[in-house]
Amino acid sequence: MKIKKQHRKKKYLHKLNRKRMHKKQENTGEVLCKVIKESWDHRKSSYRNLRDMGLATDPNKTIKIPNFKQQQLKRAKQMVNEGESESEEEQNIEEQPIKGHVVGLLEKESKAPRKRRFMLPKGQVEFITYLLDKYGHDYKAMERDKKNYYQETWKQLRQKIKTFMGIPKQYGEYLQSRGKLEEDEEELKKQAKALVMDD
C-alpha cells in the first residue's frame, strides 16, 4: 500500500510547466517603490538590502513585545554585574545603516501632498445637483423633497453637498454646465463660509 502511494506521488504531469512553476516560486515579486528600487543591490539578499537601507524585515524583531521573565533576568544580571552591564549596552548599540538616506526619502515621499482622487458616484451627483438646482442652499426644504428616498436629515444632505463642493472636478463641471463659473470668487467664498458657519 505504501509503495503504491509513493509511486502515485511521482507521476509526471504533462500539463505542468515545471520551469515556469519553479520561476514563479523563486520570484519574490517586483519592487514598486522607486526609492527602494534605485538603491537595491541584486547581488545581496532582500534581508541584507533592507538592513543596509535601515528598514525592518520582521516587525516582531524590531519592535519587541516586552517579556516579563526576560526583563527580570536582565535586571538580575545588571544587579550582579554592575560594571559589565555598561560594556554590554555599548555592544548592543546598532550600527548606522549604509544607505540611511533611503529612510529619509521614504518619509519625505509619504508626507508629500497627494492628488485627491476621490469622486462621488454618478447617481449621488445627479441627486445633489437636482437638489442644488431646485433649492439652492435651503437644506431644510431638501429634507422634505419627495426624491429624498433614504429620508436623510438636512445635516446629512448638507454634508453631502459639502463633500460635492470639495471635489473640484465634479463641482467645476456642475458650475460650468449651469453657467455659474463666471460668478465672482467672493460669492463662492461666502457660500463656503456659510457652510462652515452652519456647523
The three-state secondary structure class of 53 is: helix
pLDDT score for 183: 55
Per-residue DSSP letter, 94:
P
User: What is the chain's mean pLDDT, rounded?
Assistant: 83
Average pLDDT over residues 96-111: 89
Q: Residue 112 is placed in which grid cell?
A: 508629500
pLDDT score for 100: 84
Sign of the alpha-carbon torsion through 90, 92, 95, 96: negative
Q: Alpha-carbon distance 129 to 123, whole Å? A: 10
pLDDT of 90 higher than 80? no
The more confident residue out of 61 and 6 is 61
Q: Residue 47 is placed in which grid cell?
A: 534581508
pLDDT score for 7: 60
Q: Residue 102 CB: number of other CB atoms within 10 A?
A: 22
Lowest-pLDDT choice from 31-35, 38-42, 91-95: 91-95
The more confident residue out of 123 and 31 is 123
pLDDT in tens, 142-178: 999 999 999 999 999 999 999 999 998 999 999 999 8
pLDDT score for 42: 86
List all residues 6 or more positions away from 116 whose beta carbon is below 8 Å from its beta carbon.
167
